[in-house]
A and B are shown apart, each in its own frame.
Chain A
Amino acid sequence: MDESPQQFRAIVERHQGRVYSIAFRILGDSGAAEEVAQDVFLELHRALCRIETEDHAAAWLRRVACHRATDALRRRAARADTIAEEYKDGMGLRPAVREVIPLLNRVEQLLLTLPPAQRSVMLLRYQEDLEPEDIAIELDMPLATVRSHLQRALKLLREKAQRTLKEYSRG
């Protein structure tokens, strides 16, 4: 692809929402999400000579955004508190994530209670509208694993959604 600054800027502007959303919904933190999203685009800038088409760039960005955000999540979990704490209290959210809850919609809040691998698969399925076969290719994951992640994540989300709805109606 053309490596000129104008061309690269056009790519950033076209895909920034998608990349930022993936990072934000995996991390649940706008500052960390912006940092990861910027790093993903800079990585794309370095790899631009290997990117052949616009579709290739989009797929590359989705894949790298999922991986980098998941890596950042793991680093954060290892640094501060164990990832197990993320699934403990109430809806299963860490205190740090609770601070940004007002900025998140209901589905985004529920999504943050899922394990990281399930978050990535769910985002590619419902945000990016990809078929399980395409998700398997993009995340370099067996198709059976993708289907299993989707089924488990949907089951978990349904249960949590019903639980929060009951709590809400109970007052």
Chain B
Amino acid sequence: MVDRIDDFERELTDQLRPRSAPAGFADRVMARTPAARAPHRVWLSLWRPVSWAAIAALVAVTVLGGVEFTRRQRIAGQHARDQVVLALRIAGLTLRDVQQKINQDDSRQDNSNTTQ
């Protein structure tokens, strides 16, 4: 069926001959090729140093910000450690006082037992 050419298929072949592309089609394709768009690179080359400067500034701000953040974190950590040490020291002193009082009470009780 497909291999036999009849009038209908002849009409198909006749009416499906390639059409002409719209006028200026090749020009429009050529204008979109990378070579034709090369003049844009001039603007790119002007824009590039500006973009590099912006990127460098962004990196510098990020790095400095990071350094400052780390410094503040370290100070805050130091402060917290000092507070913990102070609290431990106070607790140690309190415990020593309590221990001394217990010892005094014990020795007083021993003396009273001896005299009896």
Residues of A within 8 A of B (CB): 5, 8-9, 12-13, 16-21, 24-25, 30, 34, 37-38, 41-42, 45, 105-108, 111, 122-123, 125-127, 129, 132, 147, 150-151, 154, 157-158, 161
Contact = CB atoms under 8 A, between A and B. Distances in A.
Given A16-B25, A154-B9, A108 B15 contact: yes
A106 B19 CA distance: 14
B9 to A, nearest CB: 7
B26 A127 contact: no
Interface of B: 1-2, 8-9, 11-13, 15-22, 25-26, 28-30, 32-36
B1 A126 contact: no
Contacts of A105: 15
B26 A24 contact: no
Contacts of B2: 125, 132, 147, 150-151, 154
Contacts of A122: 12, 16
24 contacts: A5-B30, A8-B30, A8-B33, A12-B25, A12-B29, A12-B30, A16-B29, A17-B20, A19-B21, A20-B21, A20-B25, A24-B19, A34-B22, A37-B25, A38-B25, A41-B29, A45-B33, A107-B11, A111-B16, A122-B12, A123-B16, A126-B16, A147-B2, A151-B1
Nearest to B2: A150
B26 A107 contact: no
B16 to A, nearest CB: 4
B62 to A, nearest CB: 37
B16 A13 contact: no
Nearest to A155: B1
